Structure 1
């Protein structure tokens, strides 16, 4: 990442000089009552030139653990850089967040609408403004997500394979796992990457839930990244990860062989071997008892915490091929 010395950046048409603290409202639409819906963008610029890093969360309205992480960056003043610029957008999908819904009011998944259109659907217009009026000023993006529905994700960074710069940034972040994941068309990650903007996608926890450990790993990872770029405020210290990051080159799902009441018996992050008992499926009448066993050696990186499952439901995500 090159050193930047721009005196002024322009976000949503507003000029922000070096050394400024600014909150800009990303005005995207109005409710049926005429009430404005705005997304606050918190911008902190040091007086010394440096990179511009954007932290985003809440692209899905039900993924509030990421919102908590970006909130902590602001409340703990981690977002006040020693040099360069830090931009925080805690909630991209404010509609979904307010309505406890993953999607936009038009039923669309914002994370399948990029790069968007100025004349498209509501979600598409939001994506278009983000990509055209904010991302051009940014040098690195960290986007925070959680697992969907009842599936609890281990803390992990997702990046595309064969890009050493992303490998290095993920290693610096220091999450327990890095999962190589191909880009999906029309996602925020893919759109940023197509513009040459490096992006780390952090996954951890599950929807509609805030897990303190997932938040802590995310916050500590951000501090390490900022320290790497010489941006971390001297009053804040970056920690060293307790163990080296494990890079996952392949993984597989263990699925339910029958429907029933499900109880996981093993914790996230656990290393298992073939035939390790992972959980059990029973019926309400005491006639069925089925043990769910691992078919491979690996680490558990996702656990389905649903109490009721159907045949074929994904229960455990296990690493299949790793490099440490």
Structure 2
């Protein structure tokens, strides 16, 4: 069978035919030392037609757990599809990843400059290149993130409420939680939404940290999505989640009433009743001990793991209203 133009996928100036594997370079700028920076984009195409799925991570350079999830998809060969095409971008903000910093060297948060411009800041140029040269070719995006420094997120998916297509895909993914959340201005998710490109945003763990539970949730969820789309090779098993996904309509942060040394005593993902003890705040001198109690019944979807907190700091993210 001859290769036709309709069979050809052209990304970043490279042509990839059905049945081919190719690594292309998402290059934008050199380091300040003139050293070239290669940002590999790993593309695997089946000979059989099917959807094109994009796995992304590292939009924030310090969120290494997402990078680890996509790395495992590649290392285990999960990214070699039974049909269709799988594109993996493990580290989008390679400049931040090199220094384990959230932002780009210009101080900008990549996830607040989309869709970007071809002649703007470094972060804006990366955003523009991703939106113009990669995203148009895909049918579904799964973007991996983690919580901020010291704040550990339970594995969860985030997207706008009442999106039936994403609800179906979220159920297939099987993360412990779905947190309905608004699209943030100039984020990757918002831009993809405006372009009509479905995106599941995965949150799990915290920055500067790799956690096996979170990694397994991301990898297993990705396998389930691929199986749902008919793209997972039969050599890989896709296990059902141990528990049904909990869909959260509303949630709130429980904040510290006092400054001091903080220790959580409740496991992430736990269901708690109102007034249950979740942790305690103490002083260094053994004179003060304040028990932090649940403000309402719900699930704990984020825990602050910082040993020192100040009055007003967010300690726990707790669900307040579930989807029925």
Question: TM-score normalised to the size of structure 2?
Answer: 0.98
Q: Is 1:252–1:318's contact at 8 Å kept on the other side of the alignment?
A: yes
Residues of 1 paired with 2:20 and 2:6: CA distance? 13
Is 2:122 aligned against 1:116? Answer: no
Q: 5+ residue gaps in structure 2? A: none
Which residue number corresponds to residue 196 of structure 2? Answer: 196
Q: Is 1:160–1:180's contact at 8 Å kept on the other side of the alignment?
A: yes
Is 2:56 aligned against 1:44? Answer: no
Is 2:291 aligned against 1:291? Answer: yes
Residues of 1 paired with 2:32 and 2:207: CA distance? 27
Which residue number corresponds to residue 165 of structure 1? Answer: 165
Residues of 1 paired with 2:117 and 2:54: CA distance? 22
Residues of 2 paired with 1:191 and 1:230: CA distance? 27
Q: Is 1:29–1:38's contact at 8 Å kept on the other side of the alignment?
A: no
Counterparts in 2 of 1:245-260, with a 5 A limit? 245-260=245-260
Counterparts in 2 of 1:21-32, with a 5 A limit? 21-32=21-32
CA shift at 1:192, angstroms? 0.7
Residues of 2 paired with 1:99 and 1:307: CA distance? 24
Q: Secondary structure at the match of 1:131?
A: helix
Q: 5+ residue gaps in structure 1? A: none
Residues of 1 paired with 2:6 and 2:230: CA distance? 17
- Shift >2 Å, 4+ stretches: none
CA shift at 1:100, angstroms? 1.1
Is 2:72 aligned against 1:96? Answer: no
Residues of 1 paired with 2:140 and 2:204: CA distance? 20
Counterparts in 2 of 1:231-310, with a 5 A limit? 231-310=231-310
> Over the residues paired in the alignment, what is the CA RMSD in angstroms?
0.9
Residues of 2 paired with 1:10 and 1:196: CA distance? 20
Which residue number corresponds to residue 20 of structure 2? Answer: 20
CA shift at 1:6, angstroms? 4.3
Residues of 1 paired with 2:33 and 2:176: CA distance? 46
Aligned residues: 320
Question: TM-score normalised to the size of structure 1?
Answer: 0.98
Counterparts in 2 of 1:188-227, with a 5 A limit? 188-227=188-227
CA shift at 1:287, angstroms? 1.6
Residues of 2 paired with 1:236 and 1:227: CA distance? 9
Residues of 2 paired with 1:94 and 1:134: CA distance? 17
